[in-house]
Amino acid sequence: MTSPTVWTIGYERLLPGALVAELEAAGVRRLIDVRYRPQSRRAGMSKTRLGELLGEHGIRYEHRRDLGTPPDLRYLYKHGQIAEGAAGFAVHIEATAAAELDVLAAELDDAPPTALMCLEADPATCHRRVLTDALRRRRPDLRVVDL
């Protein structure tokens, strides 16, 4: 059996059409929105409209709030305290959403090709890295591809 893969993407520098194009080029068929609040000032990137757009391209949209960064930890990321934010989020996610991570790790074998999405373009400065690290602890064979 081949190793499962999960993609990550941030829409910070992408318009909605470019986001879809990146996902399609990678073969992604399911996008999991890991924003705590799936709203955006950028037109087309809020939950409802983004879900509609992705659906028009055959990409399933899911929002998983439990995998998002709560406001107190998002503040650290936003203000350049990346290490503190990541450490806090790592503790938070295992304390509040370990079961959700377990489910996601288990479903990757049979799920459509899946990407995790939030705002930040650079996964190294984003909670997506903490999420993929947590998934790798559950699935050491997991391959992570940052778009």
Quote the pLDDT of residue 3: 86
Quote the pLDDT of residue 1: 60
The torsion angles phi and psi of 88, rounded to 5 degrees, stand at: -65, -40
Residue pair 30/114 in contact by the 8 Å Cβ criterion: yes
pTM of the model: 0.94
Quote the pLDDT of residue 44: 83
Quote the pLDDT of residue 42: 79
Quote the pLDDT of residue 118: 94
Strands 114-118, 60-63: pairing is unpaired
Which parts of the chain register pLDDT below 70? 1
| Domain covering 1-12+22-36+48-63+86-116+125-147 assigned CATH 3.40.1010 in the classification | yes
Residue 62: strand pairing partners: 32
Instruction: Give the three-state DSSP class for 111.
Output: coil
Domain spans, the chain: 1-12+22-36+48-63+86-116+125-147
Q: Quick: pLDDT tens for 115-145.
A: 999 999 999 899 999 999 999 999 999 999 9
